Structure 1
Amino acid sequence: MTVRSKQPWYWQWFVALLLILFGYLVGYWQFTGGDYIGLIQSVNSLLRDNQQLEARTVYRERQLQVERAAQQSLADELAALQDENMELKSEVAFYRGILNENSATGELKLHSFKINKGKLPDQYEYHVLLIQSGRHERAVQGDLKFGLAALQNGEEVSLPLMDGIVAIEPVKVNFKYYQRIDGSFVLPPGISKPSVTLALTEKGQKEPKIRQKLDLPK
């Protein structure tokens, strides 16, 4: 008859715990020996792909910047060409107006009257272009006078156009084809809603042949 000693209950739990730990170690070894290495390789591959993607993205962004710069340059060039084309058309119209001989006699015209802001405060520049279209058998002679219309203390007033010190004298006009008149003036203080008046009176005449009024640019 064999007598077996009965093991304590906690010993059985200890054996079970050893078996569980052994299984965990085996699984961890498999994971670190196989799947883990594959996972690391996958991560490295993804990192390489990401770096390549970032490089392509940076390259594409630079391409887009170059394309945008080229497009802006083309747009600026096109705008400059359009402005130049408008100027050429204006010049063509100007010379055609001068050379137009449909009229039996010469016809005096105000081709353009422009006012631009000057470099100093309250300073402005004026540009006038007079032409004679049709036949140019006689010269146009006369006086071109400038004036200033404005509101002062709530009332309309007519003032001489000043160059900053003295009044601008009438400009002598004498031409067969065209004449340009350029100059500058300064606004006096205490006025509002100013505009420049222009009047051209031919020699021997009492009434102006041409009158024009132009508001100042803001």
Structure 2
Amino acid sequence: MMKSLKRKFGISASRVAVRPQIPAYVRWLAITVLVALAMVLSWSMYDAGRKFAGFDKNEISYELERLSQLNTRLQRDNDELRMKVASVDRQLQMDHVVREDITKQVKALETENIRLKEDLAFFQNLGSVPGKTEQRVSIGRLKLERGQLPGEYHYSLLLVQGGQRQKDFQGSLEFTINFQQNEKKLTMPLASESPSKLFDVRFKFYQRVERSFRMPSDATVESMQVKVFENGIAQARLMQTVNLSL
């Protein structure tokens, strides 16, 4: 028995450690705090690394906002420039139309000026040449030209009555076209809308005649002949031929 007591309470007895008991909620609180600290530390390290790499959220948001504003301004400037270009294009088209009209008017005035000069020269020659006043009717400025459309031709002439001019000249004109078609030389009279198929004229001093006619596309006009008839006289008073102006 003594030996048993010595083994339990003697020097050779096993050591016993006395520890204070920690409540469970304290342990859980400590674990929670440690986990929270770990998460905060991890987020701080992640945010620091992102900033270091240039991926700061605030800077990215600011850059996106700046780019959005820049894009909006560029779109607005682009719309304004597009409107200005459209306005300038419309103005250029209007200017082009105006220039074309002015060019046509200038050409028409030049043509009219040339015609008036030719008429004036004809009248001057008519009054200066001896014996011209004895002939009652004269043909001046007979022309045959190509028109603007394919197969279109334009002719013009000036009829003048000289002498005493006691009454109006009344008569008609007969036009004949000389042309080639299918390697053949042919002639064709120009018919008017009058029942006589002739072109009636009536004037005291002068009369200008200008008309156009159409020919087949495979026909080549070479010249035109005009005859002047006076009412009541079967034979032509005048006859003149003009070649096509090149």
Question: Taking structure 2 as the reference length, what is the TM-score of the superposition?
Answer: 0.45
Larger radius of gyration: 2
